[in-house]
A and B are shown apart, each in its own frame.
Chain A
Amino acid sequence: MTPTATGPVVDVAGVAFEYHRSPVLDGVTFRVGPGELVALTGPNGSGKTTLLRVVLGLLPQSQGSVRLFGDPPQHVRERGRIGYVPQIRASAELLPATVRDVVTSGRLARRGWWRPAGTADRRAVDDALHLVGLDDLADRRLATLSGGQQQRAFIAKALATDPELLILDEPTTGIDAESQRRFRDTLVTAARQHDTAVLLVSHDLGAVADDLDRVVLLRHGHVVFDGPPVGLTASGVSLGVHGTDLPVWLEGLG
């Protein structure tokens, strides 16, 4: 039995992080269980990106602990259990690569980086492309797709390993309505049908606001709210947060 069968997939406990002796995160605690759809949100500068990087094991916390599947992030041996969707970089858009190239590269976490793709890999790639609705665009060059379609390609890349944890960094920023709808369907399918734990780091939760199990709200490096979205919306708060400044609705929560 894996640790996730009984415990949380993501377990962040009392995490602090300092950058040049300035505290960025302080006493951050939250959990994400199997099949849970959790949003980590907050204004710019609240520490979301730093926390995301600590959770992924890309930055070491100065205090506290982070566990994925019961182990520190760096010690998770089966990396295919983690699907990560980063923000699309401008350089990625200019790569001479097809959508299939991008999605197939996601399978390296499962098969070993030196091995060519096999039948199982190709099947998994086709399934992931189908899940995000990009079957017909698989052999198109990434740069010729809209921003929303490109984002779906990167989600398919993360899903190609059939992950138990899916972490997405600002995945809906500025994408079209059709891609937002597809995005929402994909996350809900992953969480509800495949029991995938989903941690969505975003300013803008409008696309999935009705489907979230919990919202973790970060402000100045502290968790100021952790609970079901109804706890926020009951006080007249909208989850469709846009802009870069601290939204008015967050002011009262500090």
Chain B
Amino acid sequence: MSLAALPLPWPFEREFMQLALVSGLVVGVSAPLIGTFMVHKRLSLMGDGIGHVAFAGVAAGLLAGVWPIWTALASAVVGAVTIEWLRSRGRAAGDLALAVLFYSGIAGGVVLTGLAGSLDAGTLTYLFGSILTVDRPDAVTVTVLGAVIVACVAVSWRALFSIVLDEEAARVSGLPVDALNLGLAALTAVTVVAGMRIVGVLLVAALMVLPVGAAQRFARSFGATLVLASVIGATSAIAGLVIARQWALAPGGTIVLVAAAVFAVAAIVSQVPWLARRLPRPARSPR
């Protein structure tokens, strides 16, 4: 049965919008799951750095005539694992390692794209996303990657929470901290690649961070934060698509702007005195 036959209301009545909806929902749910851990490991910008490396992978794919998703996935995973290796061994400060990743990735991407002679609309699709041109193979790939992320987080979130809480104590308690950190870095790379066609490598990190920033102002427990961040991510994807369709805006940017607006509203609402007293807002307290 064709997806186009699905009787969904406007603006999802056409197949390209239904494929966009599926892909947007998958990334909207899965990106904040990974983002919750990255934010609390003080690595909010890691997704951005990996995005730059993924762009180099896209360019390599275009040059080699290979589907760019696969080359982006390979380069992003290698980049993520490398940065985690550098960070965990104290070979480089977290921000310095990220900077090296940022600039090497984007420079490599530019050089490779130049060699391929393909700095055109196809390349921009990966830089800024193009959710409305997602085809079935893209949607299937994004869904599979999203399923991998959700399954891995479902199994490992308790251990990852323990590491975020105190990495040294997690080590003492026998958790395989190095393996879990490397796994999280690899999942971050998978998230970046899954979001690449939706919002682009330059904006995908926003979907990993903004919903988490909003959710943690309202959720009391860590598990609730994971769930609420995913709900906000998915809602931002749907609302962004609707708004973009209505006013003919760039959907990737619109999705991220909706997530930013949700974050801003959450930040303001959580400061309202009568509400703030009822929220589990982090409050510095005397020791």
Contacts and interface: CB of A to CB of B under 8 A. Distances in A.
A89 B283 contact: no
Interface in A106-124: 106, 108-109, 113-114, 116-117
Contacts of B156: 113-114
Contact of B222 (A93, A97, A174): A97
Contacts of B162: 105, 108, 113
A56 B165 CA distance: 18
Contacts, number: 114
Nearest to A97: B222
A73 B42 CA distance: 29
A80 to B, nearest CB: 8
Given A79-B174, A96-B216, A101-B223, A144 B161 contact: no
A222 interface: no
B168 interface: yes
Nearest to B166: A86
A101 to B, nearest CB: 5
Contacts of B7: none
Question: Which has the most chain A C-beta neighbours within 10 Å: B172, B224, B225?
Answer: B172
A247 B40 CA distance: 38
B33 to A, nearest CB: 14
Contacts of A141: 220-221, 280, 282
Interface string A79-102: 110101110010111111110111
A92 B165 contact: yes
A91 B175 CA distance: 20
A140 B221 CA distance: 9
A210 interface: no
B169 interface: yes
Question: Which has the most chain B C-beta neighbours within 10 Å: A58, A94, A96, A105?
Answer: A96
A138 B110 CA distance: 53
B172 A84 contact: yes
B173 A144 contact: no
Question: Which has the most chain A C-beta neighbours within 10 Å: B175, B222, B287?
Answer: B287
A98 B219 CA distance: 10
Contact of A146 (B164, B168, B281, B285): B285
A175 interface: yes
A133 interface: no
Given A84-B168, A96-B224, A101-B221, 8 more contacts: A58-B171, A79-B174, A106-B173, A113-B156, A143-B280, A143-B285, A144-B283, A147-B287
Interface of B: 40, 42, 155-156, 158-159, 161-162, 164-166, 168-169, 171-176, 180, 215-216, 219-225, 280-287
17 contacts: A57-B172, A58-B168, A82-B173, A84-B173, A85-B169, A96-B222, A97-B222, A101-B223, A102-B165, A105-B158, A108-B158, A109-B175, A113-B175, A114-B158, A144-B283, A146-B286, A147-B286
Pick the 9 closest A-B CB pairs, nearest first.
Answer: A147-B287, A79-B174, A113-B159, A141-B280, A109-B173, A143-B282, A96-B216, A105-B162, A96-B225
